[in-house]
Amino acid sequence: MSNDGTKDMTQDNVEAVKKVQEEVKEAMNLNTVENIINSNEIKFEYSGKLYKVVKPTTEQKNEAYKKKVTRYVQLLQEKDENGNFIFFPEKKLKEIYKTRGIDIDGIDTKISNLNEELTRNQEKLGKLLTEESNEKGLEVLKEEIKKINSEIIEQTVYKNNLLEYSLENQSTGFLYEYLTFVMTLVANEKGEFERAFKSYDEFKKADPSLTNTVGVYVGMLLGSL
Write the CATH number of the domain with boundaries 38-88+168-225: 3.30.2220
Q: What is the mean pLDDT of the chain?
A: 83
Give the tens place of pLDDT for each residue, 63-114. 999 999 999 999 999 999 999 999 999 999 999 999 999 999 999 999 999 9
Q: How far is Cα 86 from Cα 96, in angstroms, rounded to an integer?
A: 15
Average pLDDT value for residue range 101-128: 91
Q: What is the DSSP string of 66-115?
A: HHHHHHHHHHHH-B-TTS-BS-B-HHHHHHHHHTTT--HHHHHHHHHHHH
Helix (H, G, I), strand (E, B) or coil at 188: coil
Q: Where in the chain is the domain with CATH 3.30.2220?
A: 38-88+168-225
Predicted confidence at residue 1, as pLDDT, reads: 42
Span of 11-20, 94-103, 116-125, 210-219 with lowest mean pLDDT: 11-20
pLDDT band at 38 (very low <50, low <70, confident <90, very high): low
Q: Where in the chain is the domain with CATH 1.20.120?
A: 92-164
Question: pTM for this one?
Answer: 0.60
Predicted confidence at residue 2, as pLDDT, reads: 43
Q: How far is Cα 129 from Cα 113, in angstroms, rounded to an integer?
A: 24
Predicted confidence at residue 210, as pLDDT, reads: 92
Predicted confidence at residue 30, as pLDDT, reads: 42
Span of 88-97, 118-127, 162-171, 197-206 with lowest mean pLDDT: 118-127
CB atoms within 10 A of CB 28: 21
**Which comes out higher in pLDDT, residue 29 or 207?**
207
Side by side, the strands of the sheet bearing 193-195 are 41-46, 49-54, 184-187, 193-195
The listed range with the strongest mean pLDDT (21-25, 137-141, 188-192) is 188-192
Write the CATH number of the domain with boundaries 92-164: 1.20.120
Q: What is the DSSP string of 115-144?
A: HHHHHHHHHHHHHHHTS---HHHHHHHHHH
Asked whether the predicted pLDDT for residue 216 surpasses 70, the reply is yes
Q: Is-contact 146 188, C-beta < 8 A?
A: no
Predicted confidence at residue 34, as pLDDT, reads: 54
Backbone angles phi, psi at 49, to 5 degrees: -115, 150
